[in-house]
Amino acid sequence: MYSPGSLRRFERKTFGKGAMAPWTFFAVSLFGALLTLNAYVAQRRTGPLVIPSFLLGWLVGELPLHTLGLQLIGTVVFVANGALASAPGLWGLGLSLLSWVALGLLVSQARKAAPILEASLVAGLGEDYRSEITAELNDSLDRVSPPPGLALNPFRLNRPEVIRHSDIPYVPGGGKRNQLDVYAPRAGTENAPVLLQIHGGGWTIGNKHEQALPLMNFMAAQGWVCVAANYRLSPKNTFPDHLVDAKRAIAWIRREIAHYGGNPDFIAVTGGSAGGHLSAMVGLTANDPEYQPGFEDVDTRVQAAVPFYGVYDFSNHFDLQPADTLRSWVGKSVLKRNPETEMAEFKRASPAHRLHAEAPPFFVIHGTNDSLACIEEARHFAQSLARVSNNPVAYGELPGTQHAFEVFHSIRASAAVVAAGRFLTWSLSRELQKSAEGD
């Protein structure tokens, strides 16, 4: 039996001042190491863990140096409060050291994005594609500084040389879900190429001012006019309402964009996630009257498409998705159809089943660690489109990259923005050359 005095001494030793610091430090270090591990091995099949795995892997994977800085600060605080006084604290320090090395390797991995994307452009467009861009447009590419790969505040996205015109209705009486923003050079422009951005959010959430801001500001700084459009959302609305609205935005561009300095005869489209799906559908369903009710005579062709981390097959016909949850969720919330009895509608709403020879040039960009839109499907879509299209298809596959990786400034985001800018500028040069030959 312990005496009362020995029990009090044990109590002070175990629970006294600083006694819990080693264990707390160990727990925090373990959590930080798991966050780093998740950035390497994202969850794709584990149901409820998919969303938190995406969110945490997205932030850590794109901001490894910020994460490292926070972990270093936390370690200093714990050490100053006696965290290394016993074995658990030393274990925690070991875990932290491993996490820091792994975070440094994430930076090295991210730096590979630029050469990978350049190689994908060369593979899709040809080794001499840069020489096919006019000298003036090449000068513009070189003149405008790319988005910062490393920034203390990665969420500071505006450029002083770009002005935004906000909340412009593109459907009379359509409300906030039928408004768009225009990003244009502050100094003014005329007859500039146009880029339409379609936001993501699972067809159920999202807003025009939340995504692709690094890309739109970069292109507007080069003299482009960029349009970011809201659209009606599910479950209140049912597909193809989302696609119809994207085409209505194109119809507005045809009518009105000259007032903002844009050229309605050159429109490219981009978007991420659900916006990747919709931008691909826009590119593949030009002038389809089914998706242009009341404005069937409007030309909704686009001259280039750059879908980021999109969903390309609602039907999962090729059995490429790691889990079958997407098809049932889309059926319930977006299409309002039963996949068991109405599979044809799932295919009709899928870019992977709308391929044809007259598709515009595509640049498909996707990350291998994407938890929300599977890489296998993007790879299959790009390969299949390249086999049937008369126009070039480039495909950029980024190792270790999560969903939504280019929403804020990061090393990969900067590389993707520059690569997309080169593709879009090449597409513009190609159209200018066609026009010159036609004259």
Pairing of strands 304-308, 262-272: parallel
370 and 236 within one domain: yes
Three-state DSSP at 354 gives: coil
126 and 51 within one domain: no
145 and 72 within one domain: no
The rounded distance, in Å, linking the Cα atoms of 433 and 308 is 27
Pairing of strands 179-185, 162-169: antiparallel
Q: Determine the structural domain holding residue 101 and report its residue range.
A: 4-110
299 and 204 within one domain: yes
88 and 16 within one domain: yes
Q: Which of 110, 140, 166 is the last residue of a domain?
A: 110
Q: Which of 73, 90, 110 is the last residue of a domain?
A: 110
71 and 17 within one domain: yes
The per-residue pLDDT string of the chain (439 residues; one tens digit each, 9 = 90 and over) reads: 445 455 345 334 443 445 689 999 999 999 999 999 999 998 887 678 899 999 999 999 999 999 999 999 999 999 999 999 999 999 999 999 999 999 999 999 999 999 999 999 999 999 999 999 999 998 888 899 999 999 999 999 999 999 999 999 999 888 999 999 999 999 999 999 999 999 999 999 999 999 999 999 999 999 999 999 999 999 999 999 999 999 999 999 999 999 999 999 999 999 999 999 999 999 999 999 999 999 999 999 999 999 999 999 999 999 999 888 899 999 999 999 999 999 999 999 999 999 999 999 999 999 999 999 999 999 999 999 999 999 999 999 999 999 999 999 999 999 999 999 999 999 999 999 988 887 5
Query: Which ranges of 300-410 does DSSP label H, i.e. alpha helix?
Result: 325-330, 343-348, 375-388
How far is C-alpha 367 from the geometric centre of its chain's CA atoms? 9
87 and 132 within one domain: no
Query: Which ranges of 257-333 does DSSP label H, i.e. alpha helix?
Result: 274-284, 325-330
Q: What are phi and psi of 407, to 5 degrees?
A: -75, -35
Residues 6+ apart with CB under 8 A from 277: 203, 271, 307, 310, 311, 312, 351
The rounded distance, in Å, linking the Cα atoms of 100 and 106 is 10
160 and 103 within one domain: no
147 and 10 within one domain: no
The rounded distance, in Å, linking the Cα atoms of 121 and 425 is 12
255 and 201 within one domain: yes
Query: Quick count: other Cβ atoms within 10 Å of Cβ 305?
Result: 31
CB 282 within 8 A of CB 246: yes
349 and 251 within one domain: yes
Task: Name the pTM for this structure.
Answer: 0.94
Catalytically active residues, by annotation: 273, 370, 403
Three-state DSSP at 182 gives: strand
120 and 59 within one domain: no
We report the CATH number of the domain holding residue 169 as: 3.40.50.1820
Q: Which of 82, 110, 138 is the last residue of a domain?
A: 110
Question: Residue 221, by phi and psi: left (phi above 0), alpha (psi -120 to 50) or beta?
Answer: alpha
Query: Count of domains in the chain?
Result: 2
